[in-house]
Amino acid sequence: MSVDVSKVASTNGMTPATAKGGKAAGAIATWADERLGLGTAMKKNIRKVFPDHWSFMLGEIALWSFVVLLLTGVFLTLWFDPSMTEIQYNGAYDPLRGVHMSSAFASTMDISFDVRGGLLMRQMHHWAAHVFIASMMIHMLRVYLTGAFRKPRELNWVIGCLLLLLGTLEGFTGYSLPDDLLSGTGVRAADGFMKASPVVGSYMSFFVFGGEFPGDSIIPRFYAVHILLIPGLLLALIAAHMLLLVYHKHTQWAGPGRTEGNVVGYPMLPVYAAKAGGFFFIVFGTIAMLGGLFSINAVWKIGPYDPSKVTAGSQPDWYMGWPDGLLRIIPAWETHIWGITLSWNVMLPILVMPPLLLMLLMALPFIESWITGDKREHHLLQRPRNAPTRTAVMVALMTFYGLSWAAGGNDIIAIKLHLSINQITYFMRGAVFIGPVIAFIITRRWCISLQRHDEGKLLHGYETGVLVRSPEGGYAEKHLPIPESKAYTLTARDDDPRPETAEEIEASGVTGRRLRLRKLRARLATVFFADNVQKPTVEELHEAQHHAEHELHELESQISAGPNRHGPAEH
């Protein structure tokens, strides 16, 4: 191995090396460095190390699709007219010519049919929004399931949840802007949701719409929110999210040479910058391909919004599908009291559930660290199997989400699978409660089984596929020890802490409410860690090693001295 020494300083002098010769690039760099201090800032960050794993690139999809959203969004603002003024359409699309519609819808039609590349930009913008929110969710699942949300990253988790909320609101306002029949139906539904709030509902609705629905101010208001307010907040939070990422440094998987105190990976320049930059073009290309190949929100067929019309298959975009699903399956519960109607059938699925679930999501890191009592810093990730209860909680939430989501498409499921929409609804009413419980139990046991499998690999080795017949005629499969690096990776995890016992808590002298709280916490921790498999002790591993060596000797002697002359060596 030869080392390239051409760029190493040739002296031990006390003055720092400077660029030699009057090269233009060097001169510009020096000029900028002296004024902006770029050199100092770059020296540290240009070689910043990022670990390499496919699951660390999911958040990047969100970032890049957001960039696509900004680019295509700017293009759309150049032609979109956010006004509800009624005009007569006179554009290129024949079947709507002469029809009265809002300027917003007419300009959407113009972008689609009269602006060069407009339809592609509209479709890319819409597809990018779908991908943006989907990638945020996938990224969030990765962070949760690997334990990357643990100290010191809890606040970044909360910021991520806020980004998801803002992304969804941004999506909803964007969905509403074209003022087509679907979006108008969505806005009407939102109006209904506001009015379902007890006492203040109609005031809130009149405040938002500037009078009775639909009025003529909702589109311009949504426009301001969609292109200014929420994107500004999103940008600020994304910046905070990424600054914290740089400050905390990226988490990494356990492995030889990887500790809580280092990051093993590739430097920002040139490797990671090239990878991330290349990924931007892949994300852009994928979204451009979707925009070019697949129709999304074909407003010319859906037609302009008119409160007297509605279409079958009126659905929100996918990320609003799950509250819509809950709304579709909830029984018609209403209470009439003191002249007020409380519409539980609207309040529970729309006004209660989504905020509740969001708050639960944001609280998850804090709930877990309270139960486990784990306040240490973590930079090494946990495999999902090594936190069975945590993994099972998320899978249960995912199951609830997935079932509610599917219920939001109950009409499409009914016609495509030839089912009765009523039966789907009855099934879902039970499934949203039972499904998560089943998913929790199966996932938890599955994780524990995988832990046992890991333990088996450490103590008994891997299955070689070599079958050995004993002198008695019995058959057994040979196991061989796994490589040391793999064994290191499998054992590079902490043992679960032992929860406090009731006696220990009582002995500590706390009383009253604090005593009850601590007992509850100990009980929860017991359930949280129950049945987990701890990694083998050093003694157990040594014993396993001796056993494996012994077996290997035995096998070799059997082969060399055995009665079977046609041993494996001859073949």
* Site for another protein contains 181 (CB under 8 A): yes
One residue of 130, 195, 460, 523 binding another protein per CB under 8 A = 130
In the region spanning residues 351 to 390, those forming contacts with another protein, defined by CB under 8 A, are none
In the region spanning residues 459 to 518, those forming contacts with another protein, defined by CB under 8 A, are none
Residue range at the interface with another protein (CB under 8 A); choices 232-240, 297-305, 435-443, 563-571? 297-305
| N-term to C-term CA, the chain | 39
**Alpha-carbon distances, residue 296 vs 67, 117, 123, 292 (angstroms):** 20, 15, 6, 10
CB of 281 to another protein, least distance (A): 10
CB of 119 to another protein, least distance (A): 6
* Site for another protein contains 112 (CB under 8 A): yes
Smaller CB distance to another protein: residue 120 or 244?
A: 120
Determine contact, residues 244/155, Cβ cutoff 8 Å.
Answer: yes
* Site for another protein contains 321 (CB under 8 A): yes
Smaller CB distance to another protein: residue 275 or 547?
A: 275
One residue of 23, 47, 301, 550 binding another protein per CB under 8 A = 301
In the region spanning residues 202 to 261, those forming contacts with another protein, defined by CB under 8 A, are none
Smaller CB distance to another protein: residue 64 or 193?
A: 64
- Closest to 83 measured CA to CA, from 225, 217, 226, 227: 217
* Site for another protein contains 268 (CB under 8 A): no
Element spanning 545, H or E:
helix 538-561
- Closest to 185 measured CA to CA, from 322, 319, 311: 311
Smaller CB distance to another protein: residue 113 or 370?
A: 113
Determine contact, residues 157/133, Cβ cutoff 8 Å.
Answer: no
One residue of 152, 256, 278, 483 binding another protein per CB under 8 A = 278
Query: Alpha-carbon distance 491 to 457, whole Å?
Result: 11
One residue of 296, 442, 480, 544 binding another protein per CB under 8 A = 296
Checking 107-112 for CB contacts under 8 A at 24+ apart, the result is 107/79, 107/80, 107/81, 108/80, 108/177, 108/178, 108/179, 108/180, 108/299, 109/299, 109/300, 110/79, 111/76, 111/79, 111/80, 112/299, 112/300
* Site for another protein contains 111 (CB under 8 A): no
Extract the tokens encoding 162. Answer: 């806020």
* Site for another protein contains 310 (CB under 8 A): yes
Length of the chain: 571
How many residues touch another protein under the rule CB under 8 A: the total is: 77
CB of 485 to another protein, least distance (A): 17
Smaller CB distance to another protein: residue 313 or 497?
A: 313
Smaller CB distance to another protein: residue 3 or 569?
A: 3
CB of 277 to another protein, least distance (A): 11
Smaller CB distance to another protein: residue 99 or 363?
A: 99
User: 3-state class of 40 per DSSP?
Assistant: helix
Residue range at the interface with another protein (CB under 8 A); choices 90-98, 103-111, 235-243, 530-538? 90-98
- Closest to 325 measured CA to CA, from 418, 413, 392: 413
Site string for another protein, 396-435 (x = CB under 8 A): ------------xxxxx-xx--xxxxxx------------
CB of 283 to another protein, least distance (A): 6
* Site for another protein contains 282 (CB under 8 A): yes
Smaller CB distance to another protein: residue 15 or 420?
A: 420
User: CA Rg, the chain, in Å?
Assistant: 31
Query: Alpha-carbon distance 239 to 159, whole Å?
Result: 10
* Site for another protein contains 189 (CB under 8 A): no
CB of 137 to another protein, least distance (A): 9
Provide the sign of the torsion angle of the four alpha carbons 365, 370, 372, 375, taken in this order: positive
173 contact partners, CB below 8 Å, separation of at least 6: 222, 225, 226, 230
Smaller CB distance to another protein: residue 230 or 299?
A: 299
Determine contact, residues 491/545, Cβ cutoff 8 Å.
Answer: no
Site string for another protein, 44-73 (x = CB under 8 A): --------xxxxxxx-xx------------
Query: Alpha-carbon distance 228 to 125, whole Å?
Result: 16
* Site for another protein contains 135 (CB under 8 A): yes
CB of 77 to another protein, least distance (A): 21
User: 3-state class of 368 per DSSP?
Assistant: helix
Residue range at the interface with another protein (CB under 8 A); choices 157-165, 228-236, 304-312, 456-464? 304-312
One residue of 3, 8, 25, 293 binding another protein per CB under 8 A = 293
Query: Alpha-carbon distance 193 to 189, whole Å?
Result: 6
**Alpha-carbon distances, residue 540 vs 86, 458, 530, 544 (angstroms):** 80, 10, 22, 6
